[in-house]
């Protein structure tokens, strides 16, 4: 790939890059020439995703990391710098959900969801900041959700974390524009991944409701995130910052 969308020589970290949407985005970045660092807790998933990305011709480092931990976020950035010598792009994409009525959550469950989806993005962004400044600028892309916009009665902590992702993106975009760092959020619609396969088991009628509500009349797939990932990671988006872009087959456009 040449020109505005070329990521040759660029180094990208993708948290949650070993499956689902994160792997779909990482494959896009690989196709555009980026060197990749993928992070997740599960060593087997990391190894399999690393091989899939290498098969596309990318240089890949897979790091076992729990991004709810501050030390792990710092170690992740350090590992990227040791392996590739620079860092240009950070995708904060790791996420989880626990579905139940709001009155039934324990504090521990609330913290698990908030720490995994929101605090991790703050910690990894903080850890990456000095390296991005050193590189002369960079890109941070945070994964939000339709629950960044809409309420979901079975996902109070998830919605709180994903609403927070949008505001965190705007705050970082405002603070770090002077450093030539652009920060944006991607808001996926309903995408067929491990996370939503579980949701379909737990929420009766979800599959049909998503099909009926989505103008594109299908569930999204991880490959739908390759293009937006390349755009937001590349020079093509240098004047785009603080935004939250739905990638949802029209779900959020339709009343």
Question: Rule CB under 6 A: which residues touch ligand NDP?
Answer: 15-16, 18-22, 39-42, 45, 65-68, 93-96, 116-117, 143, 145, 188, 190-191, 193-196
Query: Based on CB atoms, which residue is closest to ligand NDP, 134 or 209?
Result: 209
Smallest gap from Cβ 242 to ligand NDP, in A, equals 19
- Tell me whether residue 21 or residue 90 sits nearer to ligand NDP (CB atom): 21
Does residue 158 carry a catalytic annotation? Answer: yes
- Min dist CB 235 to ligand NDP, Å, is 25
Decide whether 37 or 39 has the Cβ nearer to ligand NDP. Answer: 39
Residue 44 beta carbon to ligand NDP: minimum distance, rounded to whole angstroms? 9
Nearest residue (CB) to ligand NDP, 4 versus 221 = 221
Other CB atoms within a 10 A radius of the CB of residue 68 amount to 19
Catalytic residue among 105, 129, 158, 251: 158
State the minimum distance, in angstroms, from the CB of residue 2 to ligand NDP. Answer: 29
| Catalytic residue ranges | 158
């Amino acid at each position: 790939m040449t020109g505005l969308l070329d990521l040759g020589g660029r180094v990208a970290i993708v948290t949650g890059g070993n499956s689902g949407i994160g792997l779909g985005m990482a494959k896009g970045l690989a196709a555009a020439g980026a060197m990749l660092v993928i992070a997740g807790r599960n060593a087997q998933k990391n190894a399999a995703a690393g091989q899939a990305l290498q098969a596309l011709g990318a240089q890949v480092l897979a790091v076992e990391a729990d991004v709810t931990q501050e030390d792990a976020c710092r170690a992740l950035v350090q590992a990227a710098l040791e392996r590739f010598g620079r860092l240009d792009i950070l995708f904060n994409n790791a996420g989880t959900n626990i579905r139940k009525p709001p009155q039934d959550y324990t504090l521990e469950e609330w913290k698990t969801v908030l720490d995994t989806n929101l605090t991790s993005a703050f910690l990894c962004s903080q850890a990456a900041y000095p390296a991005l400044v050193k590189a002369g600028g960079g890109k941070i892309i945070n994964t939000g959700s339709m629950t960044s916009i809409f309420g979901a009665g079975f996902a109070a902590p998830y919605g709180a974390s994903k609403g927070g992702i949008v505001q965190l993106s705007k705050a970082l975009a405002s603070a770090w524009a002077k450093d030539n760092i652009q920060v944006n959020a991607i808001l996926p619609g309903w995408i067929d991944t491990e996370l939503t396969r579980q949701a379909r088991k737990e929420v009766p009628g979800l599959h049909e409701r998503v099909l009926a509500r989505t103008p594109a009349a299908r569930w999204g797939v991880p490959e739908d995130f390759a293009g937006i990932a390349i755009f937001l990671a590349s020079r093509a988006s240098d004047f785009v910052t603080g935004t939250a872009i739905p990638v949802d087959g029209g779900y959020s456009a339709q009343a």
